[in-house]
Chains A and B, each alone.
Chain A
Amino acid sequence: MSVLVSLIRNEFEKTWRSRWIVFAVLFGLFLLIACGVYIYYVASQHRWTPPAPVAWQAQLQDQIKANQREITNLEQIKEQAPGGTVRIGGRGGPDLNIDQAIAQSKQAITDDQYLIDNNIAPVQSFPVAQAALFALGGIVMFLLTRIFGWLASEQIAGERSDRTLTTLLSRPPSRNQVLLAKGFASFLISLVVVLVTLLIVYAGFSFFLGSPGSLADQAGVALDGSKALGPGNLLQVPVWLFVLMCVGAAMLGVLCVQGMSLLISVVTGRWAAIGITLALLFGAPLVSTVVAGILFLISGSQDSAHFLNYFFFNVLLPVGSVAPSFGNATAAPGSGVNEFTAELETLAVWTFAFFLAAWLLFRRKQEAG
């Protein structure tokens, strides 16, 4: 056990001393973006200080009022042109007859009232939840997973290229311990970076929403993102648990990428490992988008490419699948907590397979030099 701790410490030292510039650049980038966003805020809002916070109940009340106005409008239209249809949601939305549209708006009012009466805030009401969805499901993780993949791909391959791997493996710790230490160290480093990123983004959201918000309140998340949030389509969790869920899912995505990178690292040298890893991490989503496009052209159905979500490269960011579904507005099909869970299961299988393969290869890998 103490050997493993020493090995992990060695990995920390190596990663930090050889690649500190990556972390420095990343931090500088975040700082730069934060400054830019703040300057934009100051210029557009004509103020230096955070805005006054808006209670989520007030937001839902506004939404109820908007729906009531909508119903009044629709009833006027119905009197003028009975039997007509309206298109909800602009181009591409479904054509509904007026009665259906009125029913939908009434349902939205009922749903919103249900949330207010039961003190369940839509999850996007919390700055911390917004930060989790943006930082862990959005562009930041999109960037971070690639960096973590790159760093993990160097773990063994880089040492092979530097000819330090032979010294490492000739020493008493077993290959299993060496691999475990490398995997563990990579994971811990990425966990720290992800948490720091989350905190920075949370600080930003707290500022722009005027308050850090509560961590203990109940949040409502849609099970099926394509339907409105309300009774029957509701996962009710404390907001801290929701954030923890997002962190866990994002870290599983990171672990999956690291498993893949370590597998590549076991059999190659440094530049091949970095090249293949980055090509896969950037190329796979591209290929998947193209395939989805072709399938859509052939079938004409958005759902026909849904199965691609269960290839690992599309579920690297399972948090992303829950992101468009939060709140009480509807999102595209194939999102929501149910989808999130399904993608997590897929991701777990991929992760396990990558690490298993890396372990099987590494324990008998010959270092011929």
Chain B
Amino acid sequence: MPAVVEVARLTKNFGRLRALNEVSFGVEKGEVLGFLGPNGAGKTTTIRILLGLLHPDGGTAKINGHDCWTDHARAADFFGATLEQPGFYGFLSGRDNLRQFARMLGPVDEKQITALLDTVGMTERADDKVKRYSMGMRQRLALAQALLGKPSLLVLDEPTNGLDPNGIHGLRILLRKLATEQGLTIFFSSHLLSEVEELCDRVVVLHRGEVKASGPLSDIMNVKGFRYRIDVSDVDKALAVVRTVDGAHADPGTLKDSITVASDTDIARQVNYALVSAGIGVDQLVREEKGLEDVYIQLTGVAAGSPLSSPPPPPAPAA
């Protein structure tokens, strides 16, 4: 499969801040790639480079072989994009906004505009001024805008931002449909795991401007190790006891009267035996599947320290 998007050793600095540090990945034709990372990871910067809004300080970004900065016009022929917080002309109606952007691509196809407004569920409000739209409605209009001119690649920056649960659900179904029925390649960023989990063939996890993991979702999810949640009668005692078991890492659990135990090997029986021997009541011992959330936290280290720990200081750019 030929790569639609090729990003190679992409580096971008903003003053002293290194926003991207040798980021490399590719998006293959027809796949749905999730671009995952916490706030400030460099997702939007990468997307802005792909859209030709920023030029990289190092490395290259290409779409269908055309450089996104030096050959923007040709690269832009292939994609439709939405950016975080999509902007529209508030004094024009949704339909007129689409006409504006359609005109940049060639003769305006009124039928396509009507069809797109219908696709994103905006037919009823299409002739209202955009300044009266909610964030979710703008997001829908942005998607219609991205689909103008039948692109072969969709680049979406946090497309579910501001959408209500119905909207998110609808978007998921729509994106799936576009990918399977029309063979659209979709590259979308998110910090929401649920979206990515349900939608993507492959994910790239970005953190502090570096790719932490990439590959099929099943590979990333298949992180070695076992994890148990144990409901006990005495948490402090239980922690002390479990820590004596070989290879066990015990922490207070997130639930009341529970502990979490992690290990590289299956030690459920040893742990249970140790607890019972020590006279600690075990109400429940559950093996927990590692969700994407855990992998994400493990990769990005966001959960370290306090739940909402402040982002670490940016690394200084290499000389």
Contacts and interface: CB of A to CB of B under 8 A. Distances in A.
Contact of A169 (B52, B89, B145): B52
Given A164-B87, A174-B72, A169 B100 contact: no
Nearest to A161: B87
B73 A167 contact: no
B87 A162 contact: yes
Given A14-B89, A173-B73, A163 B83 contact: yes
Interface string A160-190: 0011111111111110000000000000000
A10 B55 contact: no
B103 A166 contact: no
B66 to A, nearest CB: 11
Size category of the A interface is 20 to 34
A17 interface: yes
B27 interface: no
Interface stretch (A66-74, A90-98, A258-266, A360-368): A360-368
B191 to A, nearest CB: 16
A80 interface: no
A278 to B, nearest CB: 22
A167 B52 CA distance: 10
A367 B52 CA distance: 9
A369 interface: yes
Contacts of B304: none
Contact of A162 (B51, B55, B90, B104): B90
Nearest to A364: B55
Contacts of A10: 100, 103-104
A167 B103 contact: no
Contacts of B189: none
B118 to A, nearest CB: 21
B105 A172 contact: yes
Contacts of B96: 13, 17
A31 to B, nearest CB: 25
Contacts of A364: 55
Contact of B91 (A6, A18, A172): A18
Contact of A167 (B90, B106, B145): B145
B88 A171 contact: no
The residue among B72, B76, B87 with the most chain A CB atoms within 10 A of its own CB is: B87
B89 A18 contact: yes
Nearest to A18: B91
A306 interface: no
B86 interface: yes
Contact of A368 (B48, B73, B90): B48
Given A10-B104, A162-B87, A163-B85, A369 B52 contact: no
Size category of the B interface is 20 to 34
Given A368-B48, A369-B83, A167 B91 contact: no
Contacts of A174: 72-73
B104 A171 contact: yes
A20 to B, nearest CB: 9
Given A18-B91, A172-B77, A167 B48 contact: no
A171 B14 contact: no
A3 interface: yes
Nearest to B55: A366
Contacts of B48: 166, 367-369
A87 interface: no
Interface in B52-109: 52-55, 72-74, 76-77, 81, 83-92, 96, 100-101, 103-106
Contact of A369 (B44, B73, B104): B44
A163 B55 contact: no
Contacts of B14: 368
Contacts of A165: 87
A17 B92 contact: yes
A171 B76 contact: yes
The residue among A10, A13, A165, A170 with the most chain B CB atoms within 10 A of its own CB is: A170
B314 to A, nearest CB: 15
Contacts of B103: 6-7, 9-10
A163 B83 CA distance: 9
A284 to B, nearest CB: 31
B54 A366 contact: yes
B76 A170 contact: yes
The residue among B48, B53, B54 with the most chain A CB atoms within 10 A of its own CB is: B53
A166 B87 contact: yes
Contacts of B91: 17-18
Given A367-B53, A368-B48, A167 B86 contact: yes
B162 to A, nearest CB: 14
A170 B53 contact: yes
B87 A367 contact: no
Contacts of A366: 53-55
A207 to B, nearest CB: 38
A12 to B, nearest CB: 11
B83 A166 contact: yes
Contacts of B45: 368
Contacts of A368: 14, 45, 48, 53-54
A368 B54 CA distance: 7
Interface in A184-201: none
Contact of B104 (A3, A17, A163): A3
Contacts of B145: 167
Interface of A: 2-3, 6-7, 9-10, 13-14, 17-18, 159, 162-174, 364, 366-369
Interface of B: 14, 44-45, 48, 51-55, 72-74, 76-77, 81, 83-92, 96, 100-101, 103-106, 145
22 contacts: A2-B106, A6-B104, A10-B100, A10-B104, A14-B92, A17-B92, A17-B96, A18-B91, A159-B87, A163-B85, A165-B87, A166-B48, A166-B53, A167-B81, A167-B101, A172-B72, A172-B76, A173-B73, A367-B48, A368-B54, A369-B44, A369-B53
Nearest 7 CB-CB pairs, A to B?
Answer: A163-B87, A170-B51, A367-B53, A172-B76, A6-B103, A164-B87, A171-B104
Given A165-B87, A364-B55, A368-B45, 5 more contacts: A13-B100, A167-B81, A174-B72, A368-B53, A369-B48
